[in-house]
Structure 1
Amino acid sequence: MRVLHPGVDRTELERELRDAFDTDPDIVTVVARQARDLSESDQFVTDFGAELTVEDIVDNLADAPEDYQLAERWNWWLGALDLSHGGYARFSVRQDIDKTS
């Protein structure tokens, strides 16, 4: 089980997201950054009693509607987490993201 925490490089997550969803590398980077921020916040641990893993992310994003792109999948999952536990909207990916920063 690969846990996301401050000592783990997000390249593994980026690779898994690219492999699973075959998407724009810039969007992969943004989603991976948001996932890392979520992990570092410890909110997932507090709400679910376990560290956030790469498998958790990929599995939950795979449950999103098939026609969703990666950022939409991420926001779909975070929307569900926000609805059930609150406080997850701050990790969503905005549609007007700056892919150059």
Structure 2
Amino acid sequence: MDRRHLMDRLDAEFGGTPAERRVVARTAGDLADAGVLADDLDFEVTAEAVVDQLTDAPGGSPAERWNWWMGALEASHGGYRRFRVTAWQREDS
């Protein structure tokens, strides 16, 4: 999972602050490393796949969209709550 590429795609598709995009990309990398999505759904976590999933969200910033997706996975499979984004620096200094 190319975190840098995901940050660039998140910026192009959904905006948000650099810090927010960084934390979503870091968490997506953690999800990929854990292998749970591959086990549950035979789903490879890539930048393109993440952006595609986040596009289905009803709206919001990258972190809000990410949390919407993790909430859906938690409801359907369980075990995804740990991948929610709970905090990020709102503005880069």
- Give the alignment's TM-score, normalised by structure 1: 0.82
Equivalent pairs counted in the alignment come to: 90
The structural deviation recorded for 1:65 is 1.2
4+ runs deviating over 3 angstroms: none
- Deviations along 1:15-37, one digit per CA (max 9) or x if unpaired, are 01111111111100000000000
Q: Compared with structure 1, are the counterparts of its residues 24 and 81 closer, same or farther at alpha carbon in structure 2 (3 Å cutoff)?
A: same
- Alignment RMSD, CA only? 1.4
- Deviations along 1:38-76, one digit per CA (max 9) or x if unpaired, are 00000011011132121211011111113x121111100
CA distance in 2: counterparts of 1:18 and 1:98, whole angstroms: 16
CA distance in 2: counterparts of 1:45 and 1:59, whole angstroms: 16
Structure 2: tracts of 5 or more residues without a match: none
Which residue number corresponds to residue 48 of structure 2?
55
Could you tell me the percent identity over the aligned residues? 46
Which has a greater percent of helix?
Answer: 2
